[in-house]
């Protein structure tokens, strides 16, 4: 990451995030509820989880 900040607006609320930061992880740190079927850091972005 370069350390530069980017502006992110979600549901009308503005946030500042580090450039290159994972969007879902960032929103979770800000307690923004994002519906998701499955998320795990070890999975590729388009790979579904299998139960």
* Structural domain boundaries in the chain: 1-51
Average pLDDT score over residue span 3-10: 89
What is the per-residue pLDDT for 48?
58
Predicted TM-score (pTM) of the model is 0.55
Nearest to 23 by CA among 8, 40, 38: 8
The tens digit of pLDDT for each residue in 22-47 reads 888 888 889 888 876 666 777 766 65
Name the H helices within 1-51: 23-29
């Amino acid at each position: 990451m370069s350390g530069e900040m980017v502006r992110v607006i979600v549901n009308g609320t503005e946030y500042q995030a580090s450039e290159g930061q994972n969007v879902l992880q960032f929103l979770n740190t800000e307690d923004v509820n994002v519906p998701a079927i499955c998320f795990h850091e070890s999975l590729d972005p388009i790979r579904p989880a299998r139960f």
